[in-house]
Structure 1
Amino acid sequence: MKATQRDYAQAARKAGDKLRIFFFCGADEAGASAAVQKVVATLEAPGERLELTGAELRSDPVRLVDEARSTSLFGDARHIFARVSGEEALTALQAYCDLADNGEADEAWPIFIVATSATDKSRSAKLLIKRSDSLVAVFYPPDLRSVTADVRAMADAAGLRLSGNVAERIAHAAGLDVRLAQSEVDKLALYLDASPQSPKQATPEDFDVIGASTEEDGFMPLVNAALGGEVRKLPGELRRLREVSLNPVGVALALERRAAQLASLSAKLRPGDDMQGFLKSQGVFFREHREVGDQLQRWSGGKLERLVPRLAELHRSLLSNSQMAELILSQELAQIARYAAARR
């Protein structure tokens, strides 16, 4: 079964308990991950989460089947979550489908796969699309307008009434990452002691209090220094990374988001297009026109195709090496900046 990022939740509800595999792919890794959380929340008994990596599934394809059919440590319910790149899960999915077709996976736990650098045209997606026990959904990079709408929906659910341009400011401060935006909404609701039973009005001044560190000490100056090839500026930004304790995984997510945005824009940009007019027509935030335009000129479509999976691998490395995350991130940012600078 196939769905879009707009109707995946409805498709999941309609299918009910029949679904065993959720394959969420596309350039918007953040949106796909957020979708997993939404679907898991609807499960009658989601139980504990077992996380697998693409590398683990590639080296041991049978593990997906074994984990999906095994019991948790305490005999409770569980669900499987795997973050993969491209076709890393293909062999594992084939093994699972073979067992399911023989009636040996009827009681298997739900499997959620977020596949960066994969699309509905990938072999993994094609394997699952025609199956009644699987749901494939593609997630494309959102624009400021769509994330702002998502923020308003998050605020409504949290008991917040947003005034003025607060929703847009939250979307922009989060780098169009819905997970980070949700975090900002949660902080704002906590600050105002808001709840669905006791709604509160949120003003721009309220967001100034809880959102200052996100906007002033945020991820984007570091992201822009790396992707813009600003090798002289990067050391200062890396120093700021340490001084204000920026989350390395958050920086990596912001990098992935910008790379996905550049890939989407690059596919639409035509020779001779006026850059400012093009960026405006694509809904790019006006304060980011200079940085995004410069980065589009530095990163061609082919280079971006290699950059996106590299950033996904960086993300996995940071998650599995939390003690060394800052060093790993700094080294990767330095390499990206040197490469971007060489393409002047």
Structure 2
Amino acid sequence: MKANARDIRAAMERPSPDLRLFLLHGPDGSAAAELATRLAQAMGPEAERIDLDGATLKGDPARLADEAASMSLFGGARHIRVSPAGEESLEAFAALLAADHAGNPVVALAPTVKSTAKIVKLAIDSPRAMAFACYEPTAADLERLAATMARDAGLRPQPGVTQRLAAGCGGDRAVLASEIDKLALFLDAAPDRPHDLDEAALDAIGADLGEAEMGAVIDAVIGGRSAALGLELTRLGEAGTSPIPWLRQLARRLMTLAEMKADIDAGATQDSVFKRHRIFFREEAATAQALRRWNAAMLAAALQRVRHAERAVMASGNAGPVLADHALAELTRGVERRG
């Protein structure tokens, strides 16, 4: 069945034995990761988690149904995460939904899968599955989400707080959830002992990665300035800032440059392209330089690398921000070498 945001959150927080598969597809990987975390929390801290990926399921389609029907080694709760998933998982998902028994829920993260994919149609058509499309939220969506998540954690946001939380997370729901959990712990808040959340608490411990900070990292990458990038990454690393917000902002910048480059290559004038994309006059010189330096193939490859870095950072058991730093350093050096 097709789920909306409220349905999928409720289903993740209170998993039903009637639902075997939660398919989270679409480009907002942070939303999928945050929802998958909700399922893990609902299963309990002692629950066993089995991690699979699409390549594994392609080679052994029956394994998913087997894992879903198996008991935990210690007899406790068990759940399965498939990440990343794609069309190669179709046979495995079909076998899971058709199996006689499956006691362990499966959540599949499919960031590159579109709504027209066969695995999405399979999940929508089955009463034993839920499909939810994860798209990047607007600023208003993030503010509403921040308010809801804060209330769920026992926090009462005061005026201006949800706007700062939404701006500080850079569009990343996992970062937003982490900040709210940190604030609830700091204020000793919980649903049964609510506490006011004011700007003083945000000033004390809240992450506040603004547009200027993210912009400095992005400008260093686009401009091929390795030394500047190193300084910015060191500063953000010392502040304990998640790389997800600026990776997402960089991806948006690359997509915009790719669209502009395609328009110019098709015969449009630079002035008309700048006007169409509403380039601020103070950014015109830097944008024009970027369009001369980057070609369509470079932009496509860079976007793919950035998306891969984002997925790697969100995956379990990895080196965290080090992966993003390494990917962006390599990318920036490549641009720098081109001059």
Report the TM range for the smaller structure's normalisation. 0.7 to 0.9
Distance 1:275 1:205 in 2: 41
CA contact (8 A) 1:175 1:254 kept: yes
The match for 1:198 is 193
Q: Residue type matched to 2:245 in 1?
A: A
1:8 is the counterpart of 2:3: no
Return the offset for 1:238: 3.5
Distance 2:306 2:148 in 1: 29
Q: 1:140 aligned to 101, 126, 135, which one?
A: 135
The match for 1:330 is 325
Distance 1:294 1:329 in 2: 24
1:34 is the counterpart of 2:30: no
Q: What value does the CA root-mean-square deviation take over the aligned residues?
A: 4.3
User: What are the superposed Cα offsets for residues 257-301 of structure 1, whole Å, 9 maximum, x if unpaired?
Assistant: 325645887899998476698599xxxxxxxx969x959x76899
1:68 is the counterpart of 2:59: no
Quickly say closer, same or farther: Cα 1:204–1:182, change in 2 above 3 A: same
Distance 1:6 1:227 in 2: 38
The match for 1:189 is 184
Return the offset for 1:224: 5.0
Return the offset for 1:23: 0.8
Distance 1:183 1:15 in 2: 22
CA contact (8 A) 2:14 2:42 kept: no
Distance 2:16 2:331 in 1: 44
Return the offset for 1:22: 0.9
User: What are the superposed Cα offsets for residues 190-226 of structure 1, whole Å, 9 maximum, x if unpaired?
Assistant: 2223333333323222211112676699766445533
Return the offset for 1:332: 1.0
Quickly say closer, same or farther: Cα 1:29–1:59, change in 2 above 3 A: same
User: What are the superposed Cα offsets for residues 66-101 of structure 1, whole Å, 9 maximum, x if unpaired?
Assistant: 32222211122211012205x2xx344313414643
Distance 2:20 2:13 in 1: 13
1:158 is the counterpart of 2:153: yes
Q: Which has the larger radius of gyration?
A: 2
Structure 1, unmatched stretches of 5+, are 281-288
CA contact (8 A) 1:62 1:92 kept: no
CA contact (8 A) 2:20 2:97 kept: no
Structure 1 window deviating more from structure 2 (202-211 vs 228-237): it is 228-237
Q: Secondary structure at the match of 2:206?
A: helix
User: What are the superposed Cα offsets for residues 235-254 of structure 1, whole Å, 9 maximum, x if unpaired?
Assistant: 21243355x1746xx31x23
Distance 1:304 1:11 in 2: 39
The match for 2:118 is 123
The match for 1:284 is none
User: What are the superposed Cα offsets for residues 76-127 of structure 1, whole Å, 9 maximum, x if unpaired?
Assistant: 2211012205x2xx344313414643xx342342110111111211232233
Distance 2:248 2:309 in 1: 13
Structure 2, unmatched stretches of 5+, are none
User: What are the superposed Cα offsets for residues 146-187 of structure 1, whole Å, 9 maximum, x if unpaired?
Assistant: 111111112222232222322111222221212211221222
CA contact (8 A) 2:48 2:77 kept: yes
The match for 1:79 is 79
Distance 2:184 2:14 in 1: 32
CA contact (8 A) 1:158 1:196 kept: yes
Q: Residue type matched to 1:17 in 2?
A: P
TM-score for the superposition, normalised by structure 2: 0.75
Q: 2:94 aligned to 92, 97, 101, which one?
A: 97
The match for 1:50 is 50
Quickly say closer, same or farther: Cα 1:45–1:212, change in 2 above 3 A: closer
Distance 1:27 1:79 in 2: 24
